[in-house]
Amino acid sequence: MFIEQMPRWVRWFYPHVWWRKDAHQKTLYVTFDDGPTPQTTPWILDQLDLLGIKATFFCIGSNAEKHPELLQEIKNRGHAIGLHGYNHVRGLYKNTDIYLADIERGAQFIDTKLFRPPHGRITPKQANILAKKYTVVLWDVITRDYDASLKPEQVERIALKYTRNGSIIVFHDSLKAQKNMQYAFPRAVKQWLSEGYTFATLNDPTTKVASKREQNKFICYAERKQLHEMRSIE
């Protein structure tokens, strides 16, 4: 559970980071990390068109450098772009100057004000520095689609189990996650649509960020039980 949804005490260390958007709006924010990837990005874009929703792609600079046409296609389809570094460096284990230099290198290929730390590994100091230039985004729910030990059905259950109003949800635009993502992502979205959720990009000016209290709120037992009863997945 600590993997799928970060606990409150972790969120408190990062007051300038987005974990969740407005808890009073029945809106979800689907995001894809690690692309653009020729084997998966076109499929994701086609699925988003079929589902009629928009998403946010946190792209790696080295991938954007190799596949600028895919980066442009994401924009052409009406989705938002975020930066995910150049070499997918974990800030928690890197000298801050080296880490920031990697991000600036990525920014040469990805023009955006949104940034997601690779692996979610970033120090509070690094987050505070980056918040002066970027909107730093982590997540409310990570689906673990990258985890080869999980079956696709388990990834879908994780996505449905923890998602709530305002959730920022992570899938991955990568070969590693391809099998699980391609199964879980469209099925989860169809379920959310049936429950009346709408979808938006993270740069949508009409949506609000959750209050500090709601940002730090760990999904409680009563909330989770209500979602389970509604979705009948357990």
pLDDT tens track for 206-227: 777 766 566 666 555 444 544 5
Residue 134's nearest CA partner among 203, 76, 33 is 203
- Segment 130-152 mean pLDDT: 97
Residue type, 162: Y
Rounded to two decimals, the pTM is 0.89
Whether the CB-CB separation of 60 and 31 falls below 8 Å is answered with no
User: Which of 33, 102, 140, 173 does the annotation list as catalytic?
Assistant: 33
User: Which of 34, 79, 172, 173 does the annotation list as catalytic?
Assistant: 172
| Structural domains of the chain in order of their starting residue, each with its CATH number | 8-231 (3.20.20.370)
Please indicate whether residue 24 is annotated as part of the active site: no
Percent of the chain with pLDDT over 70: 88
Q: What is the pLDDT of residue 19?
A: 95
CA distance 98 to 150: 34
Please indicate whether residue 145 is annotated as part of the active site: no
CA distance 18 to 6: 12
- Segment 11-22 mean pLDDT: 92
Cα-based torsion angle of the residue sequence 195, 74, 41, 133 in order, rounded to the nearest 10 degrees: -90
